[in-house]
Structure 1
Amino acid sequence: MSGSPRQTASVVRLAQELIRRPSRGGIDDYGPVLAVLEEWLTARDLPHRRLYDDTGGLVGLLAEVAGGRPGPWWALDACMDTAPFGDEDAWSFSPVCGDVVDGWLLGRGAADSKLAASMFCHIAAELRGRADELRGGLAVLLDVDEHTGGFGGARAYLSDPAVPRPAGVMIGYPGVDEVVVGGRGLWRATVAVHAAAGHSGSSRVTVGAVSRAAHLVRLLDETELPGAEGEFPLPPKLSVTSCHGGQGFSVVPDLCELGVDVRTTPGFDARAAEALVRAAAAELDARLPAPRPTGITPVAAWPAFRLAEDEQPAAALLDAAAREGLPVRAKTAGPSNIGNLLAGEGIAATAGFGVPYEGLHGVDERAGLKDLPAVHAIYLRAVLTLLS
């Protein structure tokens, strides 16, 4: 079922045009890059529309292929916004060149995930001509609010009562050796550590907020977390990711704020993470009393998720890869991703399978094209399995 050279060339051409329209998350106007897709979809008579958030902000594009028979809908998802360029002088080519050199597609978004977006649009176009024989339908979600962490396109898609809710989603993050079937969740909080302010030269002993925060960091770092349990292969992980407090040298500060990120698992969820951090804060306040107790403000929580290899859509994608002769393994990812958001909505998701890549979120981002025909064929086979 591997794609023809002509079809592969068409996927690459569209991806090149997308790369040449910069769409850095929170920086660029997304209109131009979505316009390229809209023109392409319109030319192939594929129904599509823009997605907007509650404030009217543009957050994505949705294309749909309705089958001729009743059945569940499924979705393919690829982000159209990208990471920033970083230091452009460090790149050996322009981040928006979109060139193909020695079998690699070059530029920001080549790997994450404009090549996947192009491939998914081509799959939708292939299905359009045989829609009558399909059950349910296929949605292609192209989110331009992914790298911001807002996932506005996905949220707008799922909250629209007029749109069929998908039974499962396959996300086109790159990586040819693995199908990501799960990921750790997260619980994040800002921790406000207080103290009595004072002069750093005072003869009175003053334990400032920064010193108290350092003590809390030590307590958190020394806390023993459980190991991996059951079928979920990764243990939880706690990291203190930021520390802000004080100014200059002559004042002992009365406030220091910490950022705490806990990667959660089914056996150690958001509730357990919050309880751990609150216990450490209570211990700090007991050992080193302050005028105000340590404050904890949760800012985000996503559940961990993992599909069994015989659950859809993981089963269809793994089986399609095996039939195409491409050896892949199921993987549970350490970082969280949009699959966690979908899991929170009760929607099964795979969160990564695609072409090889280099420079993801770094300099000289590129996507390998040698395996593109096989990857394309695998996704097409998986979609046909789900819709048949």
Structure 2
Amino acid sequence: MTLIPTDPVALSQALIRCESVTPDEAGALTLLQNVLEPAGFTCHRLVFSEPGTPDVDNLYARLGTGRPHLSFAGHTDVVPVGNEAAWTVPPFAGEVRDGILYGRGAVDMKGCIGAFVAASMKYIHHYNGLPRGSLSFIITGDEEGPSINGTMKILEWLKARDEVIDACLVGEPSNPNALGDEIRIGRRGSLNVDLTVHGIQGHSAYPQIADNPVPKLARIIDRLSTTKLDDGTENFQPSNLQVTVISVPNTATNVIPGRAIAKLNIRYNDGWSRPAIEEWVRKTAASAASEVDAKYDLAFSGTGDVFLTKPGPLVSTLKDAVKSVTGRTPALTTGGGTSDARFIKDICPVVEFGLVNKTIHQVDEHTSVADLETLTEIYGRFISDFFRNG
């Protein structure tokens, strides 16, 4: 079957049929390249590597050489399907039933990519090319994975080539209930903390010659998780710390373990910076540890600091496009988890807008055909207004 590049449903179906569970490309990037190149885009397939992580195939495609330069960023990798027997439709069939498109990635975010490609093609065909500026796609296969060999390294590659992007739209599913609900203009920062408390292993009947690290770990994580970080800021909800893993490498009930481990995740707002939140963890942990004479180690990880794209031409152009198509005035929000916008914000203003996110990562992930077509219309209006207004 011939793929019509202006049909968002057909494009989304074709992408869903590529079983691109992170970090496998599974033909999804090749499909996009085969659609974009005939329209005049110069495509670069970029494979990046890092010790201890899988190699990742990425795509950068650009049409035009001038400014303004608008980029769309997205990912074709998806999370695993989970229990396939629980799906009512095959997860990679891309089936439409009663006006609903089912499949892993339908919402997050192959449907959004299909809509933006279709909108771009309609705009290009209408003008027989770009009337001004440049339009590009930054598509990674590493957003659902470690996010090390994807967007971050594409941006480094672009910087080395002196390529400048003026604005970027990330196609993350941003709407909680209906298209037009929300535009994401920022994200909280995310910090992972590994906390290891060291003790002395011994027999549980002779605690006087051992040192149990478990109660000491409990004291520290209780202090960290119950101490209020803040009340939120003008644009962000309150910061929060969650204990996500507690692990004691011990299987015997009569052995005091030699160490106890906890993993924490902190989502912090713009009242904090990465160095400041790390220092807060160090001081709070040290205070609790001193009360129980705990010996411990801390390790921090995580990519991307908090960011906010303040109202301006990019935000207003997208907001007006959404309202003109849906009749809704979208709220400007900063909720949710993280996305690759956390890397892109370092090079240009960035916003997020996509489909309704109710079924992302779930069994029977799906979107309506009507929403795909409406999203394509919104994207088309946004592209047209962006290049007209500069």
Same fold by TM-score, threshold 0.5 exceeded? yes
Superposed CA deviations along residues 284-310 of structure 1, whole A, max 9, x for unmatched, are 3311114xx32111112422122233x
- Contact kept? 2:71, 2:165, Cα under 8 Å: yes
Matched, 1:137 2:127: no
The 3-state SS of whatever aligns with 1:363 is: coil
Cα shift at 1:323: 2.1
Superposed CA deviations along residues 162-218 of structure 1, whole A, max 9, x for unmatched, are 262312211111232211111111222211111122211215274412221111111
Q: Distance in 2 between matches of 1:258 and 1:148?
A: 22
After superposition, residues 1-388 of structure 1 pair within 5 angstroms as 10-26=7-23, 29-54=24-49, 57-66=55-64, 70-129=66-125, 130=127, 134-150=131-147, 152-160=149-157, 161-162=160-161, 164-174=163-173, 175=175, 176=179, 177-202=181-206, 204=208, 206-229=210-233, 231-248=234-251, 249-290=253-294, 293-309=295-311, 311-327=312-328, 328-343=330-345, 345-351=346-352, 353-388=353-388
Q: Distance in 1 between matches of 2:372 and 2:334?
A: 23
Cα shift at 1:357: 4.8
Q: Distance in 1 between matches of 2:128 and 2:275?
A: 45
Cα shift at 1:52: 1.6
Cα shift at 1:131: 7.1
Cα shift at 1:65: 1.3
Q: Distance in 2 between matches of 1:132 and 1:86?
A: 42
CA RMSD of aligned residues (A): 2.4
Unaligned runs of 5+ in 1: 1-5
Cα shift at 1:366: 0.3
Unaligned runs of 5+ in 2: none
Cα shift at 1:47: 2.1
Query: Which of 118-127 and 358-367 deviates more?
Result: 118-127
The 3-state SS of whatever aligns with 2:151 is: helix
Q: Distance in 1 between matches of 2:67 and 2:377?
A: 23
Cα shift at 1:381: 1.9
Q: Distance in 2 between matches of 1:108 and 1:61?
A: 20
Q: Distance in 2 between matches of 1:163 and 1:143?
A: 20
Q: Distance in 1 between matches of 2:321 and 2:374?
A: 10
Would the alpha carbon gap of residues 112 and 203 (structure 1) be closer, same or farther in structure 2, given more than 3 Å must change? closer
Would the alpha carbon gap of residues 131 and 278 (structure 1) be closer, same or farther in structure 2, given more than 3 Å must change? farther
The 3-state SS of whatever aligns with 2:214 is: helix
Q: TM-score, normalised by structure 2?
A: 0.88
- Contact kept? 1:355, 1:368, Cα under 8 Å: no
